[in-house]
A and B are shown apart, each in its own frame.
Chain A
């Protein structure tokens, strides 16, 4: 195959100061980078903004030029059919495969949902999921979700 089915997430470190999130969103909007999904984790000192965007590399470059620390992280976007227990089954396979999930968030994508998974071995997660009959979104599909 040779085609990787991991996708790139744009991750941004947000210092806990006024207007920082606004700054980030403004930069992306100005450069015409669309946000497909996002998750914002907060700690007492700082926040971590994780996004699936239309063009991660362009987004990162734009933020970098604006003096904002951003990085690209390999994640897996799992297609989760809208049926009770689908996510549970997928997670079970990942656990069986002894891969550790760092964090996860989900967004609706057409008739299905997408669960974005960060693990220490993204390629392996793709193999496990595909091997057990699950579908993962390609980069192209994920970056243009719901469009």
Chain B
């Protein structure tokens, strides 16, 4: 299909009332929802009641959105401490779905949704799909993974809300992906940007690009650049869009970029964004980089107040050329912690340590993670020190140790790794904050 040039683009807005709302009206709507939400969590979530009591804040102190700064923060550690259902604001019977993502240690970060939450999620993704120029007649090939990961389900729900056809391919098996894409006449596809580029190149190599009806791709869940987007667009002759989300807040569909690619529009009627100075949590002005923090204004199942994403970015409130007044967050410049996104999966170095320790010998819990991008796919190499006691001059024994480490790490991280055994005592010991990750991906 032909890529649509900006000057020929016909912008459609799914919910103009919300997406183009004036700042005053939006603030009023957000304030109204926040007041209600704070009262709700104070009454139904012990964790928040205690936190607010600790800060001396009562629901009555929250009168509008500007009062949000009085509220306590929520961290990923809080989710872990209250795993799996400790932060529910409704009885468990009302939960219609759970989704999960990796936590900082062995446990998952679990998010719970009521049916309304699921509907809101689908609606937000549908707004994004509309932003990508799609409508109910489109056929959306979803090659994000399905399962606890929010990618597959999120795009599926979005396609459903839009009234489009969902093609639930899930990830992997590129040849089959291309075959179905062609046979079913998919008009859009969704996956991580690195896989999108991989697919694009595979389509080019197989000479099937001209037989595809794809006109747009929706890609997110890992960092990518404008150059990468242009490459995907050029190979497939399509328009590509960046989608953002995190499981804790809802999944993909928290924010999405429009054809102007001037940042990702945040659906702030549901997910209120703040950018805070990492040093003192004071508010950053437009254009200033800080930590992105979200409050779920209307979530029922597991509402979160001021959830610290640890992603660093800046925000703009100026009206976008597309007509939307929704603020735009820029691509992330980094994180306040050492989490890495590998093929869409969140990986924390501490998970590696926990997994190595769980092996009970063979390797020392000293490691180094190296992230590369080979043929457009992320490759995670874990360098592990062999325990001197387990050292052998037999390659068979070392290889079996290596395979065992690989299996344990794959299970713990949810992503396959390359294990490289190294000599004992050759990896830097942690003195304070040792560098455990080398990211060679050029982004």
Contacts and interface: CB of A to CB of B under 8 A. Distances in A.
A15 B426 contact: yes
20 contacts: A15-B423, A41-B395, A43-B395, A43-B399, A45-B402, A45-B421, A46-B421, A48-B393, A50-B393, A67-B425, A67-B426, A69-B386, A69-B388, A71-B391, A71-B393, A102-B394, A102-B396, A103-B394, A118-B393, A118-B394
Range, interface on chain B: 10 to 19
A68 B388 CA distance: 11
Contacts of B398: 13, 46, 48
Contacts of A50: 393
Contacts of B420: 45
Nearest to A120: B394
Contact of A13 (B391, B396, B399, B425): B391
Contact of B393 (A15, A68, A73): A73
Interface string A22-49: 0000000000000000000101011010
A11 interface: yes
Interface string B379-413: 00000001010011111101100100000000000
A71 B393 CA distance: 8
Given A15-B426, A69-B388, A48 B421 contact: no
A81 to B, nearest CB: 28
Given A9-B393, A71-B391, 18 more contacts: A11-B393, A13-B391, A13-B398, A15-B422, A15-B426, A41-B395, A43-B395, A43-B399, A45-B421, A46-B421, A48-B395, A50-B393, A69-B388, A69-B391, A69-B423, A103-B394, A118-B393, A118-B394
B84 interface: no
A68 B423 contact: yes
B145 interface: no
Interface residues of A, number: 18
A15 B425 CA distance: 13
Contacts of B100: none
Contacts of B393: 9, 11, 13, 48, 50, 71, 73, 118
Nearest to B424: A69
Nearest to A43: B395
Interface in A65-117: 67-69, 71, 73, 102-103
